[in-house]
Structure 1
Amino acid sequence: MNGCTSGGGEPAGDEGAPLGAMTLYPLPESVPLARRWFTKLIAPYGVTCRIDECLVMISELVTNAILHGQSDEEWQVRVEWYREGDGLRVDVHSPGHPGRVRMRPPSQEYLFGRGLHLVNELADRWAVGSSRFGGTVVSFTVADAWRL
């Protein structure tokens, strides 16, 4: 198995069906896999926003999910993306308590701990909440993703 399953829309409650989704194993090699699959699966939708910025944010959130996800059982990271008007929203689901997700002050001593700062700078909005799968969802939105 390649570490990723992907596909389009299953019903997602009130938020509508995702344009696409992927499920990843909590392994380091899932981060570049998430970038490749997102690039491939978003292409048919004609997104005009800067995909490279989305890839940075996806990389950071998937990395955080892998590093900080917690479960006593086998688990996976789920990435979903939605169209919201002219905006693109990406959700990253993982096990663990949403209250543990917070932006920490960056440190010159450590190479880690800047992921949410990057998301905060690149996204028009981002949020943390309880995942409908149980655990945590961290989302970012890029406004005007379908405008020229």
Structure 2
Amino acid sequence: MPVSRRPRTFAARLDSRVSSTPTARHFLRAYLAALPSGDRYTDIAGLLLGELFANAVQHSDAPADRLIEIRIALVGDRLRLEVHDAGSGRPSLRAATPEDEHGRGLSLVDELAERWGCCPRAGGVGKFVWALVAPTPVLPLAA
């Protein structure tokens, strides 16, 4: 029987600071590199994970020493991204004005993810925000 080379769920806990965002994206790229079609998720998934992670850092009311956990898994042909934090606030879409310097990240998530949502964490401490990423279509080669 052939052995499956598909990676299982990947999880990592990172410091709750914006400077950890590139590390989260690095882990995502490493996970996707092990998938036969991982390159079909890379661009959108990297953007979404970065936004979700940065939102967890900036908007969480959890103590600064709490870690943020990322989870990455392939579910069927959809990539599932999760960002867990100990904060109590839930993300909500809002319309940013042209003068606003922030406030567009969740709109990007809403636009680019196939679906997304927010759930309480097991044990009742904090929440996690998840997003499903569909693979980009394979374009036929021009004749």
Normalised to the residue count of structure 1, the TM-score between the two structures is: 0.78
Question: What SS does structure 2 have at the residue aligned with 1:45?
Answer: coil
Q: Which residue of structure 2 aligns with residue 77 of structure 1?
A: 68
1:132 deviation in Å? 2.4
Secondary structure at the counterpart of residue 74 of structure 1: coil
Q: Is the 8 A contact 1:18 1:83 kept in 2?
A: yes
SS in 1 for 2:40: coil
Q: Please name the residue that 1:124 is paired with.
A: 114
Between the aligned partners of 1:30 and 1:37, the Cα distance in structure 2 is 11
Q: Percent identity?
A: 29
Q: Structure 1 residue 37 and structure 2 residue 59: aligned? A: no
Alpha-carbon distance in structure 1 between the residues aligned to 2:46 and 2:63? 29
The runs of 4+ residues in structure 1 deviating greater than 6 Å are none
Measured in 1, the distance between the counterparts of 2:8 and 2:105 equals: 24
Name the CA distance, whole Å, in 1 between partners of 2:8 and 2:121.
15
CA RMSD of aligned residues (A): 2.1
The alpha-carbon deviation at position 66 of structure 1 amounts to 0.3
* TM-score (ref. length: structure 2): 0.81
Task: Note closer, same or farther for the CA distance 1:112–1:53 as it changes in structure 2 (3 Å cut).
Answer: same
Larger radius of gyration: 2
Alpha-carbon offset, residue 111 of structure 1: 1.6
Letter in 2 for 1:141: L
